[in-house]
């Protein structure tokens, strides 16, 4: 289950965990008003901003993983599309406008109830700056990527796949389930 709900958002009475009729998993149920409160995964949208042979990375100014490098990405907001979220995050974190291409990676992280989606992104010109959530923003050639200083396994895996496909001259979509490992946060 995601974060616990103690009181019903509809009537303010205490809730309990139960499996509702016709369901197959625990939900937060309010006996007072009958509401069933569903919790769903968070969606994180981002992109791989590319200018020429370089990829744009952001050094995080916030936790988690303060000071480490990442692709611009963040939580999708209500009322926006996945692509809109990816463009917005690129602007918020790197002050960069990107032309989005196809979806490139889609990662499910069930252990933390998150789904990550990264698009191909093309920068028309190398104009960017650190947004509020970034300490620094830089373009990197493949051999310059700070692999040991990447914030999340989702970013590492996306970059590995991107550079591998670029060398091979192919472009696909990758759907994977990522599990926690001993190397730290993957989200």
Residues contacting residue 66 through CB under 8 Å, at least 6 positions apart: 60
* pLDDT-derived band at 21, boundaries 50, 70, 90: very high
SS3 string, 110-159, reads: HHHCEEEEEEEEECCCCCCCCCCCEEEEEEECHHHCCHHHECCHHHHHHH
State residue 113's pLDDT score: 93
In 3D, which of 158, 147, 148 has the Cα closest to residue 187? Answer: 158
Rg of the chain over Cα atoms, rounded to whole angstroms, equals: 19
Mean pLDDT of 56-80: 97
CA–CA gap between residue 58 and residue 44 (Å, rounded): 16
Identify the residue with better confidence: 32 or 184. 32
Question: Rounded to two decimals, what is the model's pTM?
Answer: 0.89
What is the second-level CATH architecture of the domain 42-177? Alpha-Beta Complex (3.90)
Fold of 1-39: Ubiquitin Ligase Nedd4; Chain: W; (2.20.70)
Backbone angles phi, psi at 24, to 5 degrees: -130, 10
Q: Is the bond leading into 64 cis (omega within 30 degrees of zero)?
A: yes
CA–CA gap between residue 144 and residue 184 (Å, rounded): 22
Rounded mean pLDDT of the chain? 94
Mean pLDDT of 38-42: 93
What are the residue ranges spanned by the domains of the chain? 1-39, 42-177
State residue 187's pLDDT score: 64
* pLDDT-derived band at 171, boundaries 50, 70, 90: very high
- From 35-44, 163-172, 178-187, the region with the lowest mean pLDDT: 178-187
**Number of other residues whose CB lies within 10 A of the CB of residue 177:** 9
* pLDDT-derived band at 182, boundaries 50, 70, 90: very low
pLDDT at 2 over 70: no
């Amino acid at each position: 289950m995601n974060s616990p709900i103690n009181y019903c958002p509809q009537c303010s009475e205490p809730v309990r965990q139960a499996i509702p009729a016709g369901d197959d998993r625990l939900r937060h149920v309010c006996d007072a008003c009958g509401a069933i409160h569903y919790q769903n995964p968070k969606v994180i949208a981002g992109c791989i901003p590319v200018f020429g042979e370089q990829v744009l990375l952001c050094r995080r100014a916030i936790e988690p993983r303060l000071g480490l490098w990442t692709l611009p990405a963040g939580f999708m907001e209500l009322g926006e599309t996945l692509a809109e979220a990816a463009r917005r995050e690129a602007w918020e974190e790197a002050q960069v406008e990107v032309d989005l291409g196809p979806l490139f990676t889609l990662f499910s992280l069930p252990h933390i109830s998150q789904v990550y989606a990264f698009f191909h992104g093309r920068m028309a010109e190398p104009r960017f700056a650190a947004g509020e959530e970034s300490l620094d923003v830089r373009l990197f050639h493949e051999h310059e990527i700070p692999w040991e200083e990447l914030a999340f396994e989702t970013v590492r895996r996306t970059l590995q796949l991107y550079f591998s496909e670029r060398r091979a001259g192919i472009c696909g979509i990758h759907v994977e389930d990522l599990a926690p490992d001993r190397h730290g946060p993957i989200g």
